[in-house]
Amino acid sequence: MADQKQSNLNVDLEIDRLVHEPVRLKILAYLSAVESADFVFLVSRLSLTMGNLSAHISKLQEAGYIQVDKSFKENRPHTMLSLTELGSAAFSKYRTGMLQLLG
Protein backbone atom coordinates (compact mmCIF):
# COMPACT_ATOMS: atom_id res chain seq x y z
CA MET A 1 0.00 0.00 0.00
CA ALA A 2 2.74 2.42 1.01
CA ASP A 3 4.78 1.33 -2.04
CA GLN A 4 1.78 2.02 -4.27
CA LYS A 5 1.43 5.54 -2.84
CA GLN A 6 5.15 6.10 -3.26
CA SER A 7 5.05 4.96 -6.91
CA ASN A 8 2.08 7.30 -7.59
CA LEU A 9 4.08 10.20 -6.20
CA ASN A 10 6.96 9.32 -8.49
CA VAL A 11 4.90 9.71 -11.66
CA ASP A 12 6.45 12.38 -13.85
CA LEU A 13 3.29 13.82 -15.36
CA GLU A 14 3.40 16.22 -18.23
CA ILE A 15 0.15 18.20 -18.12
CA ASP A 16 -1.26 19.66 -21.30
CA ARG A 17 -2.52 23.00 -20.02
CA LEU A 18 -4.82 23.39 -22.98
CA VAL A 19 -6.67 20.22 -21.96
CA HIS A 20 -6.32 20.78 -18.22
CA GLU A 21 -8.60 23.85 -18.18
CA PRO A 22 -12.01 22.59 -16.85
CA VAL A 23 -14.26 24.02 -19.59
CA ARG A 24 -12.01 22.81 -22.41
CA LEU A 25 -11.73 19.43 -20.69
CA LYS A 26 -15.53 19.21 -20.66
CA ILE A 27 -15.72 20.20 -24.33
CA LEU A 28 -13.25 17.44 -25.21
CA ALA A 29 -15.10 14.96 -22.98
CA TYR A 30 -18.41 15.70 -24.70
CA LEU A 31 -16.87 15.48 -28.15
CA SER A 32 -15.14 12.20 -27.24
CA ALA A 33 -18.58 10.67 -26.58
CA VAL A 34 -20.01 11.57 -30.01
CA GLU A 35 -18.98 11.56 -33.65
CA SER A 36 -19.77 15.29 -33.81
CA ALA A 37 -21.96 17.79 -32.01
CA ASP A 38 -23.19 21.22 -32.92
CA PHE A 39 -22.45 24.51 -31.18
CA VAL A 40 -25.96 24.73 -29.65
CA PHE A 41 -25.55 21.28 -28.07
CA LEU A 42 -22.42 22.39 -26.24
CA VAL A 43 -24.00 25.71 -25.23
CA SER A 44 -26.96 23.87 -23.71
CA ARG A 45 -24.89 21.21 -21.96
CA LEU A 46 -22.11 23.41 -20.64
CA SER A 47 -24.34 26.36 -19.65
CA LEU A 48 -21.86 28.85 -21.09
CA THR A 49 -22.39 32.06 -23.00
CA MET A 50 -21.78 31.74 -26.73
CA GLY A 51 -18.84 34.16 -26.52
CA ASN A 52 -17.16 32.16 -23.78
CA LEU A 53 -17.66 28.86 -25.57
CA SER A 54 -16.46 30.34 -28.82
CA ALA A 55 -13.21 31.52 -27.18
CA HIS A 56 -12.48 28.04 -25.83
CA ILE A 57 -13.35 26.45 -29.17
CA SER A 58 -10.97 28.80 -30.98
CA LYS A 59 -8.10 27.75 -28.69
CA LEU A 60 -8.82 24.06 -29.21
CA GLN A 61 -9.14 24.61 -32.96
CA GLU A 62 -5.83 26.48 -33.12
CA ALA A 63 -4.14 23.57 -31.35
CA GLY A 64 -5.66 21.20 -33.93
CA TYR A 65 -7.64 19.34 -31.25
CA ILE A 66 -11.06 19.93 -32.76
CA GLN A 67 -12.42 20.40 -36.24
CA VAL A 68 -15.01 23.12 -36.87
CA ASP A 69 -17.36 22.88 -39.85
CA LYS A 70 -19.49 25.97 -40.46
CA SER A 71 -22.50 25.93 -42.75
CA PHE A 72 -26.03 27.32 -43.11
CA LYS A 73 -29.09 25.22 -42.41
CA GLU A 74 -32.47 26.76 -43.32
CA ASN A 75 -30.87 30.24 -43.27
CA ARG A 76 -29.47 29.66 -39.77
CA PRO A 77 -25.76 29.37 -39.06
CA HIS A 78 -24.87 25.80 -38.16
CA THR A 79 -21.53 24.85 -36.64
CA MET A 80 -20.56 21.20 -36.21
CA LEU A 81 -17.63 20.30 -33.99
CA SER A 82 -15.69 17.06 -33.82
CA LEU A 83 -12.57 15.76 -32.16
CA THR A 84 -9.53 15.37 -34.41
CA GLU A 85 -7.11 12.44 -34.02
CA LEU A 86 -4.69 14.79 -32.32
CA GLY A 87 -7.41 15.98 -29.93
CA SER A 88 -8.50 12.44 -29.20
CA ALA A 89 -4.90 11.43 -28.43
CA ALA A 90 -4.39 14.49 -26.21
CA PHE A 91 -7.58 13.73 -24.28
CA SER A 92 -6.65 10.06 -23.84
CA LYS A 93 -3.13 10.98 -22.74
CA TYR A 94 -4.47 13.46 -20.20
CA ARG A 95 -6.96 10.93 -18.87
CA THR A 96 -4.37 8.16 -18.57
CA GLY A 97 -1.93 10.56 -16.94
CA MET A 98 -4.47 11.66 -14.35
CA LEU A 99 -5.48 8.06 -13.58
CA GLN A 100 -1.82 7.18 -13.19
CA LEU A 101 -1.20 10.14 -10.91
CA LEU A 102 -4.24 9.62 -8.70
CA GLY A 103 -4.04 5.83 -8.69
Give whole-number Cα distances, 70 to 54, 64, 76, 80, 81, in Å: 13, 16, 11, 6, 9
Nearer Cβ to another protein (12/73): 73
Q: Segment near another protein (CB under 8 A), from 1-9, 10-18, 62-70, 72-80? A: 72-80
Using rule CB under 8 A, residue 42 touches another protein: yes
- The CA radius of gyration of the chain, in Å to the nearest whole number, is 16
CB of 11 to another protein, least distance (A): 20
CB of 64 to another protein, least distance (A): 20
First to last CA, the chain: 11
Which one among 18, 37, 60, 66 touches another protein, defined by CB under 8 A?
37
Nearer Cβ to another protein (23/63): 23
Residue type, 72: F
- Rounded to 10 deg, the angle between the 2-9 and 85-102 helix axes is 140
DSSP-based three-state secondary structure for 23 = helix
Contacts to another protein by CB under 8 A: 22-23, 25-26, 29-30, 33-45, 50, 76-77, 80, 95
